[in-house]
Amino acid sequence: MQSFLRTQGHSPRRYAALGAATAGVLLLAACAGGGTPAPSGSTGPDEGASDDTLYVGTVLPQTGNLAFLGPPEFAAVDLAAQELEAAGYPYTVEVDHQDSGDTQTDIATQSVGTLVSAGADVIIGAASSGVSFTFIDQVIDAGVVQISPANTSPDFTDYEDEGYYWRTAPSDVLQGRVLGNLMVADGAQTVGFITINDPYGTGLQENATMAIEAAGGTVTASALYNPGDTNLATQVAEVTADNPDAIAILAFAETAQIVPELVTQGFDASGMYFVDGNLSNSYNFPEGTLEGAKGTLPGNPADDTFRERLLEIDPELEDFSYAPESYDAVVLAALAAMQGSSPDSDTIRDNLQAVSRDGAKCESIEDCMALIEGGEDIDYDGVSGPITFDENGDPTEAYIGIFQYGADNQYEFVRTEFGSLNE
């Protein structure tokens, strides 16, 4: 069905319901294995999926170069499961947390194999676009819905996914636009990039470059590094040689090596710009190192009430990046299952777009459930924003948060910019 629909110029999502019966047979075959022991800290099912259980697996970073993103994402998934239960959700929600590692390991594919064998109905993850590309075909072949709370690579938009891949974070077409405009608006006429060489980094750089040039700025240098590189002095020297007004660091944990090199080269923090992959409060730099640096982060920042709810799940949280998107991913999957009257993967796939748009507006789990129980179509607007899915499983509109570091090397919220990918 996939190749037929593509050759006809349509997305499989538009016709997902037509193949539900056939796909359901495939799903039963893929999920027939018995349950596996749940990893420490999870509540995985004892005997795989069942007709009255929504089995939510996560493939999120416990280790690797995005490990700082893991705690808020795991906490948000657990919070959603807890609040669904408290609201009287009609199915049992089981959560099984697995590690995604990073692109230097094979952890994610093993984790996905475990979840597929156990009968996962939906997989939340990965955080890294590069990691998701290592297992997306594995998930599609198994007929399991994948919802990433943090994948922003534009390459997912047209991926041949048979309707199984979705994301609650917007494409970097939007973040790149905001980042590029921010640097030029701050007075930068010349900009350099230090960029991780993976789909996330290069896609974000491409879109930021277009915005910079459209606003009258110039990109003077771009230095790529490969995941796992530990000595980045050459890249820093290459970019600072042209003395740009601003440098965008499109990186992950390697930022901890990049920033000291920039300081050594005499580059001021007020000209440094971070993105979602490295906007963190966990850097061990001398006081004042990051003062004045700015960063962008897709999504609506977690407000105080939501943070308090997350801290009840994990009191040790320091960062809240992509927690709203992780929470909304679980809630959307749960509402799609309820709308379709079955917590299986194909039902979730076939109803995800419907619960995100064109119905009665609702923001809380309780309100959305009441509308569904009353026979209403719903339009869930979550803690991360409106989340209006298009036919590709992308949010069509979203907030991009802008943040700035203080002398304590902690970032603070400045403002949000709202944008549409249809512009």
User: In the prediction, which pLDDT does 419 show?
Assistant: 81
C-alpha–C-alpha distance, residues 50 and 349, integer Å:
17
Strands (E), 218-306: 218-225, 246-250, 272-274, 294-298
pLDDT band (50, 70, 90) for residue 423 = low
Of 233, 234, 231, 170, nearest to 203 (Cα)? Answer: 170
Question: Does residue 149 surpass a pLDDT of 50?
Answer: yes
Q: Which sign, positive or negative, has the C-alpha torsion 258, 263, 267, 273?
A: positive
C-alpha–C-alpha distance, residues 253 and 117, integer Å:
32
pLDDT tens profile 336-378: 999 999 999 999 999 999 999 999 999 999 999 999 999 999 9
Question: Does residue 35 surpass a pLDDT of 90?
Answer: no
Question: Does residue 183 surpass a pLDDT of 60?
Answer: yes
pLDDT tens profile 186-212: 999 999 999 999 989 999 999 999 999
User: In the prediction, which pLDDT does 27 show?
Assistant: 31
The DSSP bridge partners found for residue 94 are 55
User: In the prediction, which pLDDT does 413 show?
Assistant: 94
pLDDT tens profile 48-60: 444 799 999 999 9
User: In the prediction, which pLDDT does 4 show?
Assistant: 25
- The model's pTM is 0.80
Q: Which helix (H) or strand (E) holds 354?
A: helix 345-355
User: In the prediction, which pLDDT does 327 show?
Assistant: 98
pLDDT tens profile 83-137: 999 999 999 999 999 999 999 899 999 999 999 999 999 999 999 999 999 999 9
The DSSP bridge partners found for residue 173 are none
What mean pLDDT comes out for the span 156-179?
Answer: 94
Domains and CATH numbers, the chain: 2-170+302-392 (3.40.50.2300), 172-298+399-420 (3.40.50.2300)
